């Protein structure tokens, strides 16, 4: 499956803004392609390279926005009482359990 045509613009936006906060693109200015999907590896150097590293893993994925297939409107970002957000294009951060 090829990456959607808008991915190039999204990647450019991410790399531009993340470099502004000193996140280094470990992909050498080009995303790695895995099954035609871009993968960006970023590194935020610490003050002491001898200290252990921490991995923060995150990805974004979306599903179709057909209203009749959603419990809540897909663009409403419904927030449950425990803080879970259900919306089209929500962030899926695996690292939240260790932060």
Signed CA dihedral, 19, 25, 30, 34: sign only: negative
pLDDT tens figures, 66-78: 888 888 888 888 8
Structure tokens at 85: 């957000």
Supply the pTM of this predicted model: 0.42
Distance CA 89, CA 65 (A): 10
Distance CA 65, CA 88 (A): 7
pLDDT tens figures, 36-52: 666 777 777 788 889 98
């Amino acid at each position: 499956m090829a990456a959607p045509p808008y991915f190039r613009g999204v990647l450019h936006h991410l790399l531009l803004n993340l470099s502004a906060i000193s996140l280094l693109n470990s992909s050498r200015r080009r995303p790695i392609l895995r099954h035609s999907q871009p993968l960006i590896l970023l590194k935020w150097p610490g003050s002491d390279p001898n200290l252990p590293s921490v991995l923060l893993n995150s990805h974004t994925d979306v599903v179709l926005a057909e209203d009749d297939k959603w419990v809540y409107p897909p663009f409403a970002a419904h927030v449950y009482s425990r803080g879970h957000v259900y919306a089209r294009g929500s962030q899926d951060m695996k690292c939240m359990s260790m932060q």
